[in-house]
Amino acid sequence: MRTPTEVRAVGVPSRVFVYEVGPRDGLQNEQAIVPVEVKAELIERLCAAGLPLVEATSFVHPRWVPQLADAEELLGRLEHVDRMPVLVPNERGLERALAAGVRHIAVFGSATETFAQRNLNRSWDEQFAMFEPVMTRALAEGLTVRAYVSMCFGDPWEGDVAIDRVVDTGRRLLDLGAYQLSVGDTIGVGTPGHVTALLDAFNAAGIHDDLLAMHFHDTYGQALANAYAALRHGVTTLDASAGGLGGCPYAESATGNLATEDLVWMLHGLGVETGVDLVALVETSRWLAGHLGRPSPSRVVNALAP
């Protein structure tokens, strides 16, 4: 298999933490239910390929995301569940996560009013009151809590999203006890200059890059460029989805996530360490594409196809 020529770039981190969201964010938008045994093998393969964290599933109500209705059964098939983050939307979800032995959770907030209403059935302000008891209980139980903020670069119903609103949303989630804030371009409209301006605004508010992760979608082909802008700014955690799978079931214009293979190819070419075995990762996405019945959206997976 071909590998990128390594040319060490100036001004980027020496190591990047790739946060794998494929089994949760990647599969949640699939219409056909993926068998639980396939999900379990996917997670095992991703862990074996060196991904340091693999977000396994979500404890959202099955009515809203049927693909993830098998969360308990899936976790029961896995080793080291205590190392795998899961998405927890509310107190009931937290109870289910604790019963399953989970030790790392994530909550999913919105920077906009409309998406908060559509995704959480809460106003923008009310979402924090919903998250507060979840995060307080989780922290008291010794869990770590990550917070996602969606619609940070644009909203399909509201249009442009003010940078100050994004920063305010993130600050409130960090103040509730999140150890990290994943800043999401849910519909993929961001560009590198916008990424830089948003990160500058977080820094000006006292929220430094080491508290931030970036979560890009590739709707307009900007995900890798945006990831590079974030690296140049000092961000060292990037979310990605194996094979470029994913979207958002509540935002129809949100297409695939940044493909983990494409990100890792770029990082390795820049001389950035990831700990990820690209060969094993590509083989995993080819295997998954066979189960899904269609080619992987990842450019690297397709370029390296035999």
C-beta pairs of 42-47 under 8 Å, 24+ apart in sequence? 42/242, 42/284, 42/288, 43/74, 43/78, 43/84, 44/78, 44/79, 45/280, 45/283, 45/284, 45/287, 46/20, 46/22, 46/242, 46/281, 46/284, 47/80
Name the band, by pLDDT with cuts 50, 70 and 90, for residue 247. Answer: low
Residue 128: pLDDT over 90:
yes
pLDDT of residue 31: 85
CA angle 146, 167, 125 (to 5 degrees): 80
pLDDT of residue 256: 84
Q: Quote the percentage of the chain above a pLDDT of 90.
A: 89
Are 296 and 305 within 8 A, CB to CB?
Answer: no
Q: Tell me the domain boundaries of the chain.
A: 17-303
Choosing from 88, 167, 248, 281, the catalytic residue is 248
Give the pLDDT mean for 179-206. Answer: 97
Residue 250: pLDDT over 70:
no
In the annotation, is 248 catalytic? Answer: yes
pLDDT tens digits for range 78-120: 999 999 999 999 999 999 999 999 999 999 999 999 999 999 9
Name the band, by pLDDT with cuts 50, 70 and 90, for residue 154. Answer: very high
Residue 145: pLDDT over 60:
yes
Residue 255: pLDDT over 80:
no
Give the pLDDT mean for 199-228. Answer: 97
CATH architecture of 17-303: Alpha-Beta Barrel (3.20)
d(C-alpha 98, C-alpha 215), whole Å: 26
Name the band, by pLDDT with cuts 50, 70 and 90, for residue 251. Answer: very low
How many angstroms separate the Cα of 250 from the Cα of each of 150, 157, 225?
A: 11, 12, 25
Number of neighbours of residue 250 by Cβ within 10 angstroms: 17
pTM, two decimal places: 0.95
Name the band, by pLDDT with cuts 50, 70 and 90, for residue 253. Answer: very low
